[in-house]
Amino acid sequence: MQPVLLITGGSRGIGAATALAAAEAGYTVAVNYASNSLAADEVVRHIRARGGNAIALQADVADEAQVLAMFERVDAKLGRISALVNSAGVVDQACRVADMSLARLRRMLDTNVLGSMLCAREAVRRMSTRYGGEGGSIVNLSSVASTLGSPGQYVDYAASKGAIDSFTLGLAREVAAEGVRVNAVRPGIIDTEIHASGGQPDRAGRIGPQVPMQRAGRADEVAVSILWLLSPQASYTTGALLDVAGGR
């Protein structure tokens, strides 16, 4: 029986690359998306064309009711999940903190922090031996921004990822004896569409040469690290914050 993996934000960028890699590795994949159904359906189509099993699920992870409904649909359609990747996240236009609106801050924290926590909560309720589960693995998407602070640009985004780092460490230790491993990957400058959503579509190409490895990373390079953390090969790894950032 194939293990079941839910990937939030799985319709684009790192999430999509992880979905494709996971299907190749033998997972049944639930591809979550917030609004871009066409992109999610395309990821599912690619997986099925290669003989894999996948479904697309719409849900805004910042909305608890939608998160609950999404997990119930996974239960009904695919069975109990054994892996979760919290990839859903947002960024915004470069801005100083003094100019940030409350609406911007709430959107950032609701999606990047609360969304990941809600999904992890539901995953633990299904994976943990404390609740009758058989164990599992969670990988949260953080960012090296959590160590840099992103002054003058995305301090709110960096702070949200700092929260993910702390959440990863705490949850990992909380459920370590219950068969659930929790880790985080911290990408650096990766060439994905997220830069365009922050108003800087050329950011990866512009900043990539300044990275010690002198290039931006690719989504598939991050996906490989996520799949390793999910896999039995990382069976003694929990509470890890893995930088995939070219030395940045």
Please, how many CA atoms are within 13 Å of residue 145, restricted to the half-sphere of its CB?
20
CA–CA distances in Å: residue 236 to residues 8, 137, 161, 180, 221: 25, 11, 24, 11, 22
Q: Are 33 and 11 in contact (CB under 8 A)?
A: yes
Q: Are 158 and 149 in contact (CB under 8 A)?
A: yes
Helix (H, G, I), strand (E, B), or coil: what is residue 84? strand
33 is catalytic: no
CA–CA distances in Å: residue 232 to residues 5, 85, 96, 98, 208: 14, 15, 43, 46, 33
Give the helix ranges, DSSP H, for 128-230. 145-148, 155-175, 194-197, 203-207, 219-230
* Distance between CA atoms of residues 186 and 162, nearest Å: 10
Q: Are 7 and 88 in contact (CB under 8 A)?
A: no
Helix (H, G, I), strand (E, B), or coil: what is residue 222? helix
Tell me which residues are annotated as active site. 157
